[in-house]
Amino acid sequence: MSLDNQVRQLLGEIEQLMQEQALWRSCAPELSAFESSEPFCIDSMSPEEWLQWVFIPRMRALVEGGHPLPTRIAMAPYFEEAFSQRAENHQSLIDALHRIDQLLNKETS
């Protein structure tokens, strides 16, 4: 399976897990939340908002547009920390984020 297809599949899995874990929202954050210059929009979005409204759409746009994918990525540690108080509820999502980190980082080895 191509890298693009593997990424596409993992993004679908992440979306599904977020829906199953009641992290998926029907309304986007305020436009001003997207103007953050902080990593993960930490000052303006919750971790799950960033994942849903920034990461997933950007990654899908890269894949669909045939653009190069990031080759140095480390999202899972942030989400492990962000979900530390409720990690048992979101372990499968954290595992999927580890897989996407590993997949993209593997391509540079």
pLDDT in tens, 64-94: 999 999 999 999 999 999 999 886 789 999 9
Residue 98: inside a domain, yes or no? yes
- 1 pLDDT band (50/70/90 cuts)? confident
Residues of the domain holding 51: 3-25+42-106
Of residues 41, 83, 57, 86, the one with CA closest to residue 98:
83
Confirm if 8 and 63 have CB atoms less than 8 A apart.
yes
What is the count of structural domains for the chain? 1
Dump pLDDT digits (tens) for 21-72: 999 999 999 999 999 999 899 999 999 999 999 999 999 999 999 999 999 9
Q: Give the pLDDT of residue 109.
A: 46
User: Which domain CATH number covers 49?
Assistant: 1.20.1440.40
Residue 34: inside a domain, yes or no? no
44-67 residues labelled b (16+ CB within 10 A) or e (exposed) = bbbbbbbbbbbbbeebeeebeeee
